[in-house]
Amino acid sequence: MQAQATPSAGQVALGNTEQTAVQPLSAERLSALIGPQSVLPLLLVAAAFVAITVVAILWATGPTYQVLYSNLSDADGGAIIAELDRRAVPYEFGAGGQTIMVPSEMVHSLRLQLAEQGLPKGGKVGFELLDNQAFGVSQFAEQVNFQRGLEGELARSVESLGPVSAARVHLAMAKPSVFVQQRVPSKASVVLNLFPGRTLSEGQVNAIIHMISSSVADLAAENVSVVDQRGELLSQPDTALAGLDGTQLKYTQKMEQSYQERVDNILAPLLGENNFRVQVSADVDFSAVEETSEAYAPNPEPGRAAVRSSQSSANFTGDEAVARGIPGALSNTAPNWAPSPIEQTTAEDDAAVAGEQLGNQTSLQRDSVFNFELDRNIRHVRHQMGGLRRLSVAVVVNNRPGVDDEGNPTSEAVPDEELQQITRLVQQAVGYSEQRGDRIEVINSPFTEVQPELIEPTPWWQQTFFINTATAAARYLLAAVLVLFAYRRLVKPVLRKFSSPPAPDRATTMAALSGDPAALAALGLDSAGDGGGSVGFKRVDKSASYQEQLDELRRIGRDDPRMIAMILRGWMKEDA
């Protein structure tokens, strides 16, 4: 007959013929599994110790991460992370997700590889924006994309300059119109973010302005504004240097430096390298002058004076006929008028006409003027800019070292004769011109000794190599400390528990106190007082007083506390 029963809590039915009851995990069963002779605690502690050791070793030998890129836009950061995932390169985030860090040994190679693919783009788009335009895009959208691409390309060009960290370019394109008065020219503004401690010279600012004005149609250089990250307008020249550009200032400084080097080269062998100081100030004329002169030859002697102008006047009045015409036979011949074939004139008519003509020729006046040019010389001269107008040179000579009567070091003034010689040498070196108004001053004065500021070398504990080495050593040391701590706190107590002898029960302990040889042998003692290195055990006489027994137990606890601890542990185990 088969026994059948309905499964209940704590029971599991197996087949139709047999049932097995599953008892719940009680405290008794748990204490039986984790008993004094069970190896389960030892296995758990060993597994935990191995896990801690492996984690510590992996952490100590793990890669050191360095910054690959920082302050990235969301688009650039996503593109770089996608590329790192494709290359299976581990990375971490820092600075709130704005910094990407990779293993230190891969930083430089990854930067070069990502730069080859155009990453990061810096949030700027160039003319590649026009590569993927949709079909049928409007003219306005196409113009906007072209302007954005042009701004991006100009910003990239400006960022290629050394002092510029980042740049933005804004363009206001020209608006064409058929009416001249309604035409609006192009304008541009540039915002520069410079590296810390770097500045742009006036020449570099002008180069940026001319580059942008040359890249945009109908954009004049005066319509380009350049601003830095501090809000300073770099394209406006300094009012104190109005009229002087960077080239003129550099030319003046170069000229002054050239004169100063001449004086240094001639005085250094005579006075010593650090025994004089020279300053040169050059007044350079940058005005553009064009001169035209007209010089006439000087007047000659009165008897040989040249005629500048001659004027003659002839006046004739009278009844007689005046000779006229060109001299010659033909002019002296009376005119012979041929008769008209239609109207024939008589001799009387011809005589009347001739008489009337000659009668009107009773007065004659002739005026003539002759002008002669004098010798003159016209000269047109265009003076070259950058001529030296005036030169001023100041030289200070240090006192000479000497020794006084007692042998102490002192300084002596330079004699006046030597100062005059130095003055003449300086005049010859700089090309002194009195007509030009040059001035050269040489004086003698003791120099104040200025201790040079010594740049202390970086301490060895602040050097990069030591910091990296110390960091790596600290990682290994911390890992070793962690493993040692786990061993002392987890493994060693378990091993001590398994290696220590079992605690004696209360009966054995009481028998040992009564002097039973078998009990003393079980506790590792003997009646002679030599038991496994323990102190001698003196039998306690039951007839002794309470105070004597208490003193004997105190002596045993003082001489062999291990035995007392073993006894107490056995009692506690029995009570539990």
**CATH number for 274:** 3.30.300.20
Report residue 210 as tokens: 């001319």
Instruction: Answer yes or no: do 227 and 265 share one domain.
Output: no
pLDDT of residue 25: 46
> Domain total for the chain?
3
Residues 105 and 191 in one domain: no
Say whether both 195 and 78 belong to one domain. no
Name, in order, each residue with C-beta under 8 angstroms of 522's C-beta and a sequence gap of 6 or more: 504, 508, 512
Amino acid 276: pLDDT: 92
Single out the residue of 166, 194, 172, 189 nearest to residue 70, CA to CA. Answer: 166
d(CA 446, CA 441): 16
Q: What is the rounded distance in angstroms from the CA atom of residue 474 to the CA atom of residue 423?
A: 68
**Residue 191 belongs to some domain of the structure:** yes
Does residue 193 form part of some domain?
yes
The answer as to whether 199 is a domain residue is yes
Asked whether residue 275 falls in the same domain as residue 394, the answer is: yes
| C-beta separation of 390 from 438 below 8 A | yes
Domain that holds residue 193: 125-130+139-176+183-237
Please, where are the H alpha helices in 61-105? 74-86
Residues of the chain where predicted confidence (pLDDT) is lower than 50: 1-22, 25, 27, 30, 239-241, 340, 342, 358, 527-536
Which amino acid is present at 99?
A: T
Tokens of 315: 């006046």
Report pLDDT for 433. Answer: 92
Same domain assignment for residues 158 and 193 = yes
Domain membership of residue 202 (yes or no) is yes
Q: Which helix (H) or strand (E) holds 21?
A: strand 18-21
Residues 162, 210: Cα–Cα separation, whole Å: 18
Asked if residue 281 and residue 420 are part of one domain, the reply reads yes
Q: Are 277 and 444 in contact (CB under 8 A)?
A: no
| Residue 103 identity | P
Question: Quick one: which of 538, 491, 438 has its CA closest to 42?
Answer: 491
567 belongs to a structural domain: no
**Encoding tokens for residue 496?**
């001590």
Residue 104's CATH number: 3.30.70.1530
Is this structure's pTM higher than 0.85?
no
Model pLDDT, residue 394: 95
Report DSSP state, residue 234. Answer: S
